[in-house]
């Protein structure tokens, strides 16, 4: 019999609620946020010895049912979702005590991601109704359609091992989405026998491969400037973004200090946010498709171990010692940020592992200055950002700088410089536990 192992992943889909359903969802989102704030207020005012999970639970139950409290509006939130807020709040404190982040804070009406939990999978009753549409039950809202983009274990295909264990509803600038928690039993993959490849996050090409291939998204990539920031938008959308930003600045100029932004200004801000969210969705989609393709084709993928946070920080410098060429470097940094190299590596880690392959990291120092043909580092070898010219008189290799770096990365792995000894199954588990990303 084939060996099976448990897999857990998240899958995010766009909801298509009717206007009435959307209002109900908004109400639930605001109630969940308000409940968090009440809870935070209650928790921080209480003497330490009375701060317990049971006391918080009792306080929430009383607030929801007692008419004296004047919190009837909390009843729009299903009881399970209210419990989930408490659980998330408690976890936030645990994260703080264990040193992973700072203490939880109040959630502002704006600038906060609205979310509502549906912690139990059996409440959802997911069904596929069309090639592209599914239906899901949301407590106190009803049946809502969502985009069907992945085969989920529902109906006859659901059993103890393969099922949806819960969901979270999240609202961003493009509207409400549902993130399913899915659990499946998958056969343990056989080792992937595909070729080795080194990948470099290039300056001119998003991903340069050591076998001369590259993964491009066909979008302009200048370093720095507005064109770079909005490269995922079409020219028409870019023009619209500029117009909206100007309009927002104009409207804002009429606002007196301390005055609330007008409804029209808020609407302009929402439109800007929606365009940015569209750009982000497109870049995520490209990243998912590319990393899936790479993990399918190659058995071993080698990348350089970039300290992205450090790179971005060092350009700015400190007040005492400001960095040199801050503008140029911050252009480069923005490009690094935008290609979201860390996320690419994270996706490659779990996708290679799921196919029996592995991802390795090698030290990054000097990979772009060394010649991959004769392995010497000569001064002035980078003619410009795109071309590499070896100044060693016996070699003189000339070519694409990103390709050269990718070859160096693979060479370092082959000569035994890999940092992490084998990204086996343990790494996958860790990666999945940290963040269940949208899996393809
Ligand atoms: Zn050379």
Number of folded domains that form the chain: 3
User: For strand 214-215 and strand 207-209, is the pairing parallel, antiparallel, or unpaired?
Assistant: antiparallel
pLDDT of residue 132: 93
From ligand 1's centre to the CA of 374, what distance in Å?
A: 4
Mean of pLDDT over the chain? 82
Strand, coil or helix: what is 261? coil
* 152 within some domain: yes
Please name every residue paired with 358 in a beta bridge, in sequence order, or none if there are none. 300
Exposure letters 370-402 (e unless 16+ CB within 10 A, then b)? bbbbeeeeeeebeeeeeebbbeeeeeeeebbbb
DSSP 159: -
pLDDT of residue 224: 43
Shared-domain flag, residues 421 and 330 = yes
From ligand 1's centre to the CA of 370, what distance in Å?
A: 8
Please name every residue paired with 359 in a beta bridge, in sequence order, or none if there are none. 301
pLDDT of residue 249: 93
* 41 within some domain: yes
Full DSSP string of 33-93:
HHHHHHHHHHHHHS-GGG--HHHHHHHHHHHHH-GGGT-GGGGGS-HHHHHHHHHHHHHHH
Shared-domain flag, residues 9 and 33 = no
CA distance 7 to 432: 9
pLDDT of residue 402: 84
User: Cα 388 vs. chain centroid, distance in angstroms?
Assistant: 33
pLDDT of residue 366: 79
CA distance 82 to 105: 18
Shared-domain flag, residues 170 and 296 = no
From ligand 1's centre to the CA of 395, what distance in Å?
A: 4
Shared-domain flag, residues 158 and 36 = no
Shared-domain flag, residues 340 and 286 = yes
From ligand 1's centre to the CA of 161, what distance in Å?
A: 55
From ligand 1's centre to the CA of 301, what distance in Å?
A: 24
Residue 413's domain comprises 196-224+282-429
From ligand 1's centre to the CA of 328, what distance in Å?
A: 28
Q: Which two tokens stand for residue 325?
A: 């060429």
* 200 within some domain: yes
Shared-domain flag, residues 207 and 60 = no
From ligand 1's centre to the CA of 207, what distance in Å?
A: 23
Phi, psi angles (nearest 5°) of residue 200: -120, 135
CA distance 159 to 125: 13
From ligand 1's centre to the CA of 199, what distance in Å?
A: 20
Shared-domain flag, residues 416 and 337 = yes
* 358 within some domain: yes
Shared-domain flag, residues 110 and 70 = yes
Domain limit, last residue, from 114, 142, 165: 114
Q: Is the pLDDT of residue 327 over 80?
A: no
* 437 within some domain: no
* 289 within some domain: yes
3 against 302, higher pLDDT: 302
Shared-domain flag, residues 97 and 152 = no
* 94 within some domain: yes
- 250-290, pLDDT tens digit by residue? 999 988 888 888 889 989 999 999 999 998 888 888 889 99
CA distance 130 to 323: 56
By the 8 A CB rule, do 198 and 209 touch? yes
From ligand 1's centre to the CA of 408, what distance in Å?
A: 12
Domain limit, last residue, from 82, 114, 146: 114
Shared-domain flag, residues 166 and 135 = yes
- 46-79, pLDDT tens digit by residue? 888 888 888 888 888 888 777 777 777 888 899 8
Strand, coil or helix: what is 257? coil
* 230 within some domain: no
Shared-domain flag, residues 296 and 420 = yes
Shared-domain flag, residues 155 and 100 = no
From ligand 1's centre to the CA of 392, what distance in Å?
A: 6
- 113-163, pLDDT tens digit by residue? 899 999 998 888 899 999 999 999 999 999 999 999 888 888 788 888 889
Strands (E), 124-221: 127-128, 133-138, 142-147, 163-172, 175-187, 196-200, 207-209, 214-215
């Amino acid at each position: 019999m084939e060996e099976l192992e448990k897999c857990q992943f998240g899958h995010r889909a766009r909801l298509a609620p009717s206007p009435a359903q959307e209002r109900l969802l908004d109400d639930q989102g605001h109630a969940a946020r308000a409940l968090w704030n009440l809870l935070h207020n209650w928790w921080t005012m209480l003497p330490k010895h009375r701060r317990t999970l049971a006391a918080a639970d009792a306080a929430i139950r009383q607030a929801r049912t007692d008419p004296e409290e004047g919190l009837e509006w909390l009843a729009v939130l299903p009881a399970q979702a209210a419990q989930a807020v408490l659980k998330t709040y408690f976890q936030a404190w645990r994260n703080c005590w264990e040193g992973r982040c700072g203490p939880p804070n109040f959630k502002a009406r704006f600038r906060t991601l609205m979310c509502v939990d549906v912690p139990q999978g059996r409440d959802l009753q997911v069904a596929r109704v069309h090639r592209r549409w599914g239906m899901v039950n949301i407590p106190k809202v009803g049946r809502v359609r969502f985009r069907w983009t992945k085969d989920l274990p529902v109906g006859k295909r659901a059993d103890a091992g393969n099922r949806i264990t819960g969901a979270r509803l999240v609202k961003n600038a493009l509207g409400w989405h549902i993130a399913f928690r899915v659990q499946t039993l998958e056969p343990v993959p056989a080792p992937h026998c595909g070729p080795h490849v080194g990948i470099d996050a290039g300056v001119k090409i998003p991903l340069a491969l050591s076998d001369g291939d590259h993964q491009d998204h066909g979008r302009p990539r200048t370093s720095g400037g507005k064109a770079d920031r909005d490269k995922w938008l079409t020219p028409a959308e870019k023009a619209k973004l500029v117009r909206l930003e100007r309009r927002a600045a104009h409207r804002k100029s009429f606002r007196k200090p301390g005055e609330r932004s007008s409804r029209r200004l808020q609407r302009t801000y929402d439109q800007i946010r929606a365009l940015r969210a569209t750009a982000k969705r497109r870049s995520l989609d490209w990243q998912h498709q590319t990393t899936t393709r790479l993990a399918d084709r190659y058995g071993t993928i080698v990348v350089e171990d970039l300290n992205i946070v450090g790179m971005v920080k060092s350009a700015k410098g400190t007040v005492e010692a400001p960095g040199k060429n801050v503008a140029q470097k911050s252009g480069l940094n923005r490009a690094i940020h935008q290609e979201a190299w860390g996320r690419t590596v994270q996706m490659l880690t779990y996708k290679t592992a799921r196919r029996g392959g592995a991802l390795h990291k090698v030290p990054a120092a000097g990979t772009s200055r060394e010649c991959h043909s004769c392995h010497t580092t000569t001064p002035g070898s980078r003619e410009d950002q795109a071309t590499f010219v070896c100044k060693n008189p016996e070699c003189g290799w000339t070519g694409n700088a990103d390709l050269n770096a990718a070859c160096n990365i693979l060479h370092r792995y082959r000569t035994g410089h890999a940092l992490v000894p084998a990204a086996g199954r343990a790494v996958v588990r860790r990666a999945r536990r940290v963040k269940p990303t949208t899996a393809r």
